[in-house]
Structure 1
Amino acid sequence: MSTTAVAPLTVQEADALVAAASRAAEAAGATVSVAVLDAGGQLLAFRRDDRAVLISGETSRRKAYTSVQLNAPTADLVDAVQPGAPFHTLPTALDQPLLFIAGGIPVHRDGRLIGAIGVGGGTPEQDHSFAAAAVETLG
């Protein structure tokens, strides 16, 4: 097992992720909220377009939180919470703000989880694409 330290997600990187996701949404004509959390689930950066629906602020944070807690894109988890699926009771079993709607993506550095981004306000597919575009800018 590797014990090499991996640099945490910085506030500057979180701000850059928010800006990149916001630019992608703007280019698509969508008004969104974007939240970036560190690996411990703490908010590092947030922006809500002043025309975005108010609930998008909450959904963006919950998508990022779900993604960081399960280390998976929320788009990949939607089927896992359907009736009869392995995580069906997870959204109600925990007193945590989990949200299984596309738009949350974990952020990795050197293969290690360092945080997550969540986007809310567009369609689930749009939110996922805006978050993915932002993560790609980290390189």
Structure 2
Amino acid sequence: MITKQTLSYALAEKVIGWAVDKAEEMGVPQNIAVVDDAGHLVAFCRMDGAKFFSIEIAMTKAYAAAGLRASTHEVAPKTQPGMPGYGAQALNGGRFTTLGGGVPLSVDGRTVGAIGVSSGTVEQDTEVAQYAANTFQEYVN
């Protein structure tokens, strides 16, 4: 029998808490989505003041990071004009983005979920998501 690890709701809520802590420290209200390894939403938070337009963007960032098994900002250069991945943003019915702020969550080298953050600048979104992912990594090890 083959079994797989995936992200529990309780752990997804912890990831959101770590992201909220970082966003509050930065003074940037955020939309924060956490998905399982298949990109299905497990938990979501819209901080007071976060842009409603960014709700779907946060979920898309998480979905893309889970599916790619890579941070969205790391994939971005490979999808620019003239690069092999150009046009990839049109795939998966528009549920694909290379905007920074999507980071996979891994246990023992296997992706178990991902976090997506949106409502600040791309750099702020990436910083919040990476902080939560790093804290997750410390927590599970």
> Structure 1: how far apart are the matches of 2:76 and 2:107?
25
> Structure 2: how far apart are the matches of 1:31 and 1:42?
23
> Structure 2: how far apart are the matches of 1:5 and 1:95?
29
28-37 vs 88-97, greater mean Cα deviation = 88-97
> Structure 2: how far apart are the matches of 1:56 and 1:77?
20
Deviations 1:14-44 (A, max 9, x none): 0000111011011001011000000011100
- The equivalent residue for 1:126 is 124
Shift of 1:93: 3.7
Which letter maps to 1:21? Answer: A
> Structure 2: how far apart are the matches of 1:67 and 1:99?
9
- The equivalent residue for 2:28 is 30
Instruction: Write 1 or 2 for the structure with the bigger share of helix.
Output: 2
> Structure 1: how far apart are the matches of 2:63 and 2:34?
9
Contact persistence 1:39–1:115 (CA under 8 A):
yes
- The equivalent residue for 1:41 is 39
Consecutive unaligned residues in structure 1, runs of 5 or more: none
- The equivalent residue for 1:95 is 93
Consecutive unaligned residues in structure 2, runs of 5 or more: none
81-90 vs 27-36, greater mean Cα deviation = 81-90
Please point out which of 14, 17, 21 is paired with 2:15. Answer: 17
Alignment of 1:60-139 (within 5 A): 60-138=58-136, 139=138
Change (3 A) 1:33 1:93: closer
> Structure 1: how far apart are the matches of 2:67 and 2:10?
22
Normalising by structure 1, we get a TM-score of 0.92
Deviations 1:29-85 (A, max 9, x none): 101100000001110000011211111111110101111111110110111111111
Which letter maps to 2:61? Answer: K
CA RMSD of aligned residues (A): 1.5
